[in-house]
Each structure stands twice: as structure tokens, then as C-alpha cells.
Amino acid sequence: MLQYVIAILERDLDRLAAEITLFKNDRHVWQLAGNISNTSGNLCLHLLGNINTYIGKHLGNTGYIRNREAEFTLKDVPNETLIAQIHETKRMVRQTLEALSEEDLQKIFPEKTLGYEMSTGYFLVHITSHLSYHLGQINYLRRMLSQ
């Protein structure tokens, strides 16, 4: 299972970098449209904060310190910076998850993030779906703003 989780996270982090690159206007990464309440840039920062917290900090002991509020309040981070952070996160994901064993996936995840205990394997599947969910939002917002 671990190889599948790594493959999906890497694939979707590559897609995240591609989405940021595909914005025709870099300012659009930080713009809202319609009733959408988060910019693509803020969703990107949120995804990076989430993955660096739950995989990096909790499973890889990276020492990452999350500032969740900043994920939604920072503005105008250069696209190049976002893309560099995505690539660094992808590297950390591979390094951290390759160090886990299949037995580690059966252990209880170190934090009750969703309000209940779950296995590390279950939580990693949750993280992949969380990434996919927000990636779809970013894609949709990019296409709205590119018209």
C-alpha cells in the first residue's frame, strides 16, 4: 500500500505545481471568483502546510511548525516560491514514507486529527483524498479566472 500512497501523493503534487504554472496571469493565483472564499495560492499553502505537518512533522520528525492561519491569510507569494515549496514537499514525502514499513501503517496515527484514532495507513489515504479535493478546487478556479 505504501508504494501506492507515495505514487498518488507525488502525482498530485506534480499536478499542483502544474496548476500553479498554468495560470496565465500570476496575479490570478491570488484572486477570488464568484462565491469562492479561498484563492488558489492559499489552497496551495494549505495543502503544503497539511502535508508537511502530518507527514513531515508527525511521521518524518522534520520539526515543521505549522502556521495554519497564514495558509489562508498570506497573499502574493511568488509562483516560483510556491512551486519550489511543492517540489521540496514532494521530496520530503518520498523520503519520509519510504522509511516506513508496512507494519508502521497499522500503528495508530500520532494525532487524533479527525477527532478519533485511526491507523497511519488510513490517515495517509485521507491525506491523498484531501490533496485531490483541493487540487480540483484549484483547477476549477484557474479555469474560471482564465476566461
Q: What is the spatial distance between Cα 27 and Cα 21, in angstroms, rounded to a whole number?
A: 12
Q: What is the tens place of the pLDDT at every residue in 72-130?
A: 999 999 999 999 999 999 999 999 999 999 999 999 999 998 899 999 999 999 999 99
Q: Residue 2 falls within a domain, yes or no?
A: no
Residue 25: what pLDDT?
A: 87
Q: Residue 7 falls within a domain, yes or no?
A: no
Which CATH number covers residue 124? 1.20.120.450
Q: Residue 72 falls within a domain, yes or no?
A: yes
Residue 1: what pLDDT?
A: 87
Tell me the DSSP string of 35-52.
T--S-HHHHHHHHHHHHI
Question: Is pLDDT above 90 for 146?
Answer: no
CB atoms within 10 A of CB 25: 9
Question: Is pLDDT above 90 for 31?
Answer: yes
Nearest to 79 by CA among 16, 12, 131, 9: 16
Q: Residue 5 falls within a domain, yes or no?
A: no
Q: Residue 140 falls within a domain, yes or no?
A: yes
Q: What is the tens place of the pLDDT at every residue in 46-68?
A: 999 999 999 999 999 999 999 99
Range of the structural domain that residue 116 is part of: 14-145
Residue 93: what pLDDT?
A: 98
Are 36 and 141 within 8 A, CB to CB? yes
Quote the DSSP letter at residue 133.
H
Residue 134: what pLDDT?
A: 98
Residue 63: what pLDDT?
A: 97
Q: Residue 9 falls within a domain, yes or no?
A: no
Residue 50: what pLDDT?
A: 98
Residue 34: what pLDDT?
A: 85
The tally of domains found in the chain comes to 1
Q: Residue 124 falls within a domain, yes or no?
A: yes
Q: Residue 1 falls within a domain, yes or no?
A: no
